[in-house]
Structure 1
Amino acid sequence: MPVLNRIADYAPQMTAWRQHLHQHPELGFECHETAAFIVARLREIGVDEIHEGIGRTGVVAIVNGSGEGPTLGLRADMDALPIVEVTGKPYASTVPGRMHACGHDGHVTMLLGAAKYLAETRRFAGRVALIFQPAEEDGGGGAAMVEDGMMDRFDIREVYGIHNSPNTPFGHFHTAPGALMAAVDTAWVYLTGKGGHGATPHETVDPIPAAVGMIGALQTVVSRNVHALDELVISITQIHSGTASNIIPEEAWFCATIRSFTPEVRALAKKRFHEIVEGHAAAYGVAARVDYDWGYPPTVNHAAQAGFAAEVAREISGDGAVLADAPKEMGAEDFSYMLQARPGAYLFLGTGPGAGLHHAAFDFNDEAAPVGASFFARLVERALPLS
């Protein structure tokens, strides 16, 4: 079964929705206009309930089926990124320094398309909870909605989500049971020495060699402290110090992202990070402070739900276009909090050639929205069949 005919008919309307969202990006939890646009479309569609302000600016809408049954959750994230867009498209961002560079505008559109179909047809028994989530990129909107009682309030039994995947063949899906995406932790290291003249380094305590020593030693955590078959990434992403060529600075700081999959490796990485910083600080005679932010947990699909989602994806795209045992990815995703709260699965949908995620030239492929909407719609009809 390809894209559902009825959803294919929605394509021009879905494109208009997506491009409007693309023009009006919002960051983090400040998705007020985005949420208002979604609510307006949901009212036009004719869903049965709309609940606003969940997880601050999140929206949950309910569509009732044609019989009694459990509630299935479908999630789309709706926040953008602090990037200056360079696509040159007529519908490019109208907000300086912000753009939808990760396709969340497309994710919202997929879910709205599915909502329209489900509200018109109602060929399922039970309820669908349409989850529109803020702050996936930064802030943990998924956790905020779960902590706001969303799962219990709407009696959500299972939950599913999709992310677009540029440069994956168009219409291809990939997912896997178990860990699919990594946990992400972030560390900031602040060093204080004694500044002075660049001509008299012996009179200073230079924080720059200390930072360089720490950064080099931190790479040994992956190569010497973790089993070769256990995945871990420690990437130093920022380093800042100094103001002039002839001044040894008083302070330096650097930042790292730490990606892992298991609680044991995650804990080991944190322990060794602190030990290395503290040891090098003592050796170089600087004061050091580590702010270690325990971030999103790994995105772990439940086996039965991942297998079921792959079956539905095959209905939409065909057997050869679905990879059900995809390798893990070191990216992170706060849908992980929803999967900790309820069984479910997360999938990637190929959108064909184009700029990568988080790139200033990225643009979601509008032709993919009906594919994602069809997947969501068939997932509901298969999971909640009418007797």
Structure 2
Amino acid sequence: MSKELTNAEINHLITFRQALHRRPDLSGQEVETAQRVVAELEQLSPDRIVTGLGPWTEPDGTALGGTGIAALFESGKDGPTLLFRCELDGLPIEERSDVPYCSELETKAHLCGHDGHMAILLALAMRLGKQRPASGRVILVFQPAEETGKGAKALLQDPDFAASLPKPDMAFALHNLPGLGLGSVALKSGAMCCASRGIRIHLEGKTSHASMPQDGISPVEAMMTIAAGLNGLSNGLDVGRALDASYKLVTITHMSVGEPCFGVAPGAGEIWATLRTVTDDVMGDLVKAAETLASNAAETAGLSLHIEEDDVFDACTNAQETTAMVAQALAAEGIRTEEQTEPMRWSEDFGQFGHHCPSTLFVLGSGLDQPQLHNPDFDFPDALTPVGARIFERIIRDRLG
């Protein structure tokens, strides 16, 4: 396969990426984005396009997802199946930017670079559309709802995914990273991104007049106990501490109690916290410790307790085999590569793919002076699109020919 994109193709990819940037969709609601992607893929003649992947239903009955797309490119010869994945969703954040393609939708924006990741996979589809791999096959996956941790699991558990596509033997993905030189790559084997999950601790007691608090059951004292206890479960704030297998971080992100009224002693309260670890086993232990802490405090205070979980991300672990393939591709393409010594503190639901086949996620530098991910002025550099496509294409050429 040729690894060069023409100027016309690059210009088309920039136009495509910027169109996505103008009209972002939130997690599980990526209908318009998916339609744009399918329209582009149909021009490139993959052997199969599978749509509607990854639906799920929220506890309140809301149907989300079902926007995932997979494009299959067959060689017609025996060989492994390589999967490459990108994300469809934007963020519920107001964009503050003077770029001419700034988001047109209030409180919705592509501030993580998923629009650029889609452009990279479309660039790869352009190359595969012109020349299939010499053996095996390639699946390009455009996945919903990465930002909430729900999309990868829903897609991989969708019966249509297994019924319509060959089982992948290996999976690859990238994520752009501000603070790393433009076009450079950081790569590591083993633990790549932390496991994390949000917990909502609901405490219910009994309200009372503020002059007679003894007649009610206030959650305030229990909340103070729980908050202090959650902070005490962390070791991740220790100065200079490495992110090793025992790493634990609990971040209290929201607390609310009662009503903004001087005349009422509160009867209900809520604490939100994010739990973060390097491994799934330690996450399990941390969740149990947090739940036990909340249960004991609620029982002591005579409060009812309800705990919910959301934004659940498994740890993302890079397999040695697939990481070696990425390293070989980077060397062949002459791309500057740095050894990544620690896992990323943030989470990525690509870790779900690692439960199904050897997989590797690597980071592609989006510039030393680039605003951080999720900042209101972040914008994916279009110069990265051909670089990411080259890396993915070299992996295919090295393994499939």
Match of 2:330 among 288, 292, 313: 313
Match of 1:166 among 178, 182, 197: 178
User: What's the offset of the Cα at 1:217?
Assistant: 1.1
Aligned partners of 1:68, 1:275: CA distance in 2, in Å?
Answer: 53
User: What's the offset of the Cα at 1:98?
Assistant: 0.8
User: Quick check: 1:66–1:122 contact (8 Å CA) kept in 2?
Assistant: no
Partner of 1:48: 47
User: What's the offset of the Cα at 1:307?
Assistant: 1.6
User: Quick check: 1:310–1:324 contact (8 Å CA) kept in 2?
Assistant: no
SS of 1:36's partner is: helix
Q: Residue by residue, what CA displacement relative to the aligned partner does 1:313-364 show, whole Å, maximum 9, x if unpaired?
A: 233343xx21244311221111111111011211110110222111211111
Q: Pick which of 336-345 and 141-150 moved more.
A: 141-150
User: What's the offset of the Cα at 1:155?
Assistant: 3.0
Aligned partners of 1:322, 1:312: CA distance in 2, in Å?
Answer: 11
Residue 78 (str. 1) matches residue 88 (str. 2): yes
Aligned partners of 1:234, 1:110: CA distance in 2, in Å?
Answer: 35
Match of 1:288 among 286, 296, 305: 305
Percent identity (aligned): 29
Query: What TM-score does the superposition give when structure 2 sets the normalisation length?
Result: 0.88
Aligned partners of 1:278, 1:123: CA distance in 2, in Å?
Answer: 56
Partner of 1:299: 316
Aligned partners of 2:142, 2:321: CA distance in 1, in Å?
Answer: 24
What are the within-5 Å matches in structure 2 for residues 167-316 of structure 1? 167-223=179-235, 230-246=246-262, 247-293=264-310, 295-316=312-333
SS of 2:128's partner is: helix
Residue 378 (str. 1) matches residue 398 (str. 2): no
Match of 2:146 among 136, 153, 157: 136
Partner of 2:370: 354
In terms of fraction of residues, the more helix-rich structure is: 1
SS of 2:234's partner is: helix
User: What's the offset of the Cα at 1:92?
Assistant: 1.1
Match of 1:322 among 337, 361, 368: 337
Aligned partners of 2:254, 2:289: CA distance in 1, in Å?
Answer: 19
User: What's the offset of the Cα at 1:282?
Assistant: 3.0
Q: Which amino acid aligns with 1:262?
A: T
Aligned partners of 2:357, 2:52: CA distance in 1, in Å?
Answer: 21
Partner of 1:18: 17
Superposition CA RMSD, Å: 2.4
For this pair of structures, how many residues does the alignment match? Answer: 380
Q: Pick which of 282-291 and 82-91 moved more.
A: 282-291
Q: Residue by residue, what CA displacement relative to the aligned partner does 1:297-323 show, whole Å, maximum 9, x if unpaired?
A: 1111111111211221233343xx212
Aligned partners of 1:235, 1:317: CA distance in 2, in Å?
Answer: 40
Aligned partners of 1:335, 1:264: CA distance in 2, in Å?
Answer: 18
User: Quick check: 2:150–2:311 contact (8 Å CA) kept in 1?
Assistant: no
Runs of at least 5 residues in structure 2 that lack an aligned partner in the other structure: 55-65
User: Quick check: 1:174–1:326 contact (8 Å CA) kept in 2?
Assistant: no
